[in-house]
Amino acid sequence: MRKILVLFAHPKFEHSAANQALIHAITGLENVEIRDLYELYPEFNISIQKEQEVLFEAEVVIWQHPFYWYSCPPLLKQWIDLVLEFGWAYGPGGVYLKNKYILNAITSGGTKETYGLEGRNRFTIKELLQPFEQTAKLCLMNYLPAFHLAGTHRISQENLAVSAAKYREFLIQLRDSDVLTEESLAEYYL
């Protein structure tokens, strides 16, 4: 059973039905810790030591956030800037994150179709998330494909409930499965 750390960043969680459903679905799962960054650090004063301690304990890390302007909300970027220190997360002696799994779990207003060569966003999610992938790589972590809940602008209550349940299944798989690869997880993505 792996330890999962969900680093959740949403500046206006109270207005996000999609993220509320997702977070609700995974709350209370054994060995899953959710850190609500905007609630913990409303003034952006991130405790680096605390974050590193929690991070070190985890085996799977999930950056869960809305996909704003092809990236994450500013507090999560702040978290990356501050917590992934040189000499701790990367560089000489920076081995504390080695071999951990990491991935993004994102929500987007636009549908899956808009992300691709033909869509109006022109690039795939995998391409757009490359900065995160490379960040993980530099920290010697295994970067897994993103969990992507798309089309939240038009999603129905029922569909949202189904997606949330699948997110829960996805996390249980991350926690319990013997092997974690893109292939082994394929059926659990949306």
- Please select the residue that binds other proteins; options are 29, 34, 40, 82, rule is CB under 8 A: 40
- Between 42 and 131, CB nearer to other proteins: 42
H helices of 69-186, where? 74-83, 125-128, 130-138, 157-176, 182-185
Q: How many residues bind other proteins (CB under 8 A)?
A: 18
- Give Cβ neighbours of residue 23 (< 8 Å, ≥ 6 apart): 8, 13, 34, 64
Residue 162 found at the interface with other proteins (CB under 8 A): no
- Please select the residue that binds other proteins; options are 8, 38, 115, 170, rule is CB under 8 A: 38
Element (H, E) at 104: strand 101-107
CB of 92 to other proteins, least distance (A): 31
Residue 91 found at the interface with other proteins (CB under 8 A): no
Cα atoms found within 13 Å of the Cα of residue 112, Cβ hemisphere only? 7
Residue 24 found at the interface with other proteins (CB under 8 A): no
What three-state secondary structure class fits 63? Answer: strand
Residue 145 found at the interface with other proteins (CB under 8 A): no
- Give Cβ neighbours of residue 126 (< 8 Å, ≥ 6 apart): 133, 145, 146
What three-state secondary structure class fits 4? Answer: strand
- Please select the residue that binds other proteins; options are 42, 87, 91, 131, rule is CB under 8 A: 42
- Between 14 and 178, CB nearer to other proteins: 14
CA dihedral 53, 58, 59, 63 (to 10 degrees): -100
- Give Cβ neighbours of residue 140 (< 8 Å, ≥ 6 apart): 90, 95, 97, 98, 99
- Please select the residue that binds other proteins; options are 24, 27, 33, 39, rule is CB under 8 A: 39
Residue 75 found at the interface with other proteins (CB under 8 A): yes
- Between 122 and 153, CB nearer to other proteins: 153
Residue 118 found at the interface with other proteins (CB under 8 A): no
- Between 100 and 148, CB nearer to other proteins: 148
Residue 154 found at the interface with other proteins (CB under 8 A): yes
Q: Enumerate binding residues for other proteins (CB under 8 A).
A: 11-16, 38-43, 68, 75, 109, 152-154
